[in-house]
Structure 1
């Protein structure tokens, strides 16, 4: 299975970080569904493109001193995908860019 992950620090409390993640996920291209899994986890699913059969993008927020740590992962929905042509990396980078712009 193909996937890409990263972590970043946000100088906000965890509840505000989750709200910003929801907005960032909803602005992803090809997004089909965004949902809040629990108080600290957000998940989005993207549709099919010429690069992949769709991805699941999730982020988990952990409260740390003076802010929040956000772990973002994008993985191909089709488990037999070996090469995603950079689509998972692109998904994660788009979320990070949108979070930095807010």
Structure 2
């Protein structure tokens, strides 16, 4: 079911815009040239091309995403936006463990606010994604805090990342002792 939802989403977000992008100019050209039914036929031709493009893109991008997230448990999302809450051992060394875990991704730590318990790191772009922002937020009792580890794509419209968001979270959680 998760795979079907992924393929359907990719089909919709690639086929419709491409079909309109192709169909609107074709509608004008067909109308001006008097081809067939004119604008209607041009629009339908463009939308048909959009569907073909959407199917190909859904198959390529969806399959790459499914291979990248092979280890994701059934109950979790396949989205590039990942989040996990875990209890972690507290103590004075916890902020250093968080910063060390983020740097080991590898990522550049852009914010480390011990007072609020918020630590932010940014991963660079690669062929899999345009980069991610990985955040660790510590809440609760300082002796027994809860860490919320999240990974979000830098580019908000990202639909696939070949499992990079999932791997970011799964890398940081054990390093915190969670």
Q: TM bucket by the smaller chain? A: 0.7 to 0.9
Q: Equivalent residues in 2 for 1:1-20 (5 A)?
A: 2-13=80-91, 15-20=92-97
Q: Flag the structure with higher helix content.
A: 2
Do the aligned residues in 1 keep the contact of 2:109 with 2:119 (CA within 8 Å)? no
Bigger share in strand: 1
1:44 match: secondary structure: strand
Q: Does 1:73 align with 2:150?
A: yes
RMSD: 2.2
Task: Write out aligned runs for 1:60-99 (5 A).
Answer: 60-64=137-141, 66-99=143-176
| Length-normalised TM-score, structure 2 | 0.50
**SS of equivalent residue, structure 1 residue 20:** helix
Q: 1:43: how far off?
A: 0.3
Following TM superposition, the consecutive aligned residue runs of length 4 or more in structure 1 with deviations greater than 6 angstroms are none
Q: 1:52 deviation in Å?
A: 0.3
Unaligned runs of 5+ in 2: 1-78
User: Aligned equivalents of 1:80 and 1:70: distance in 2?
Assistant: 26
- How far does residue 37 in structure 1 lie from its aligned partner after superposition? 4.1
Unaligned runs of 5+ in 1: none
Q: How many residues align?
A: 99
Q: State the TM-score, normalizing by the size of structure 1.
A: 0.83
